[in-house]
Amino acid sequence: MGETVIPLADLRYVAQVPAIPEQLAPATGLLADRLGRPLRDLRISVTDRCNFRCSYCMPKEVFDRDYVFLPSSSLLSFEEITRLARVFVAHGVRKIRLTGGEPLLRRGLESLVEMLADIRSADGEELDITLTTNGSLLARKARALAAAGLKRVTVSLDALDDAVFRRMNDVDFPVGDVLAGIDAALEAGLGPVKVNMVVKRGTNDHEILPMARHFRGSGLVLRFIEYMDVGATNGWRMDEVLPSAQVLERLQPHWPLRPLEATTIGETAERWAYEDGAGEIGLISSVTQAFCRDCNRARLSTEGKLFLCLFAHQGYDLRALLRSGRTDDEITAALAGIWSDRQDRYSELRSAESASAGGSDTSTVARRVEMHYIGG
């Protein structure tokens, strides 16, 4: 018999095949981990490829033309993704976010959105189906995505200045095309649109005020994200992090802001409203103010590995269960076992260790999963 060849890309991250419990208890929608956190949010990466080479995610010197991405045979099919999504929803998931890489590079993504939109929660409610994109292909795809059942989009945009933006995406992509994609999303009804700006001190922090000025009063929500230590390839340094508190200090003299209550438990962004009624902004303080305590998110990689934390270094191979003929009841029970044993709180531990050591902990950086592979 011929020898089975397993692509190197499939071995990039350690993943164990989940155990199937002897007793297959049905899902109740009340699943909680060891810290009492429910499962409510599923982020699904549909591709590990991207057409940008942002330094904080996919630096060009690492992700060059010789980089080995996952082969198409490794990716979960839309049918497999939908099957797993139904299992997650049975356990309490109410929101599904499609990510990447750049998810709009996945051919026929509208079909997946349509399949996911047919899923209902145990109480018959529609799911909140959203998508995070760099906006490069949004102008041509927004209408079809909305027709398929997509509810909202979040667009990554790190600068309004065209030269700064081209330098950050490192493929010379113009900012005007992303803004056109945002307009197309609004016209298609994919709102409220959120705009995510990763702030990197010394690189684009001078764009904070221009970004705020541009999106004030537009109905869009601009969110400022602290530059995170995700993965091992972005050369993260603490001195390049601009704390959210300092972002707020820069904004307040121009447009006074007041804090708002969170809309849902587990929300990553602190909400702040302009006192003059011109909308709101968000602050995602993933480095300086860890929000592990209420984290209710699971992440599914493009080839079916389940990660319980954005900073994880080990996943669980759900694709192996799918392709070995396991039933939905067996997969449901396996997922319950994984989540109920979860106790991940990397950011809280990192903050505590950093404070005691006078710096940032990098002891596990070489093993952590990359953002392009698992989604933000």
Q: Does some domain include residue 322? A: yes
Calpha distance 315→100 (Å, rounded): 17
- Tokens (6 digits) for 209: 């005020």
Residue 274 lies in a domain: yes
Structure tokens at 266: 């587990």
Helix H or strand E segment including 53? none
Cis amide linkage into residue 38, ω under 30° from 0: no
pLDDT for the residue numbered 362: 41
Q: How many domains does the chain have?
A: 1
Rounded to whole angstroms, how far apart are CA atoms 340 and 38? 9
Phi first, then psi: give them for residue 276, nearest 5 degrees: -85, 5
Both tokens of 113, joined, read 């959105």
pTM (predicted TM-score) = 0.90
Is 227 inside any structural domain? Answer: yes
Structure confidence at residue 169 (pLDDT): 97
Q: Is 123 a member of any domain?
A: yes
What is the structure's pLDDT at 357?
Answer: 45
Note the residue count of the chain.
Answer: 376
33: nearest Cα among 350, 309, 374: 309
Do residues 27 and 336 touch, judged by C-beta distance below 8 A? yes
pLDDT tens for the chain, 376 residues: list them: 445 555 556 656 668 899 999 999 999 999 999 999 999 999 999 999 999 999 888 999 989 999 999 999 999 999 999 999 999 999 999 999 999 999 999 999 999 999 999 999 988 999 999 999 999 999 999 999 999 999 999 999 999 999 999 999 999 999 999 999 999 999 999 989 999 999 999 999 999 999 999 999 999 999 999 987 665 556 567 878 999 999 999 999 999 999 999 887 767 889 999 999 999 999 998 888 766 788 999 999 999 999 998 777 788 999 999 999 999 999 999 999 999 999 877 665 655 555 444 444 444 444 566 766 777 6
User: Does residue 325 fall inside a structural domain?
Assistant: yes
Domain presence at residue 3: no
Query: Which CATH number is 330's domain given?
Result: 3.20.20.70
- Residue numbers of the domain that contains 172: 8-14+28-374
Other C-beta atoms within 10 Å of 360: how many? 17
For residue 309, is it within any domain?
A: yes
Asked, for residue 2, whether it belongs to a domain, the answer is no
User: Residue for token digits 């399949």?
Assistant: 115
| Helix/strand/coil for 199 | strand
pLDDT at 358: 46
CB-count exposure of residue 74 (10 Å: 0-12, 13-18, 19+):
middle
Give start and end residues of each alpha helix (H) in 255-323. Answer: 318-322
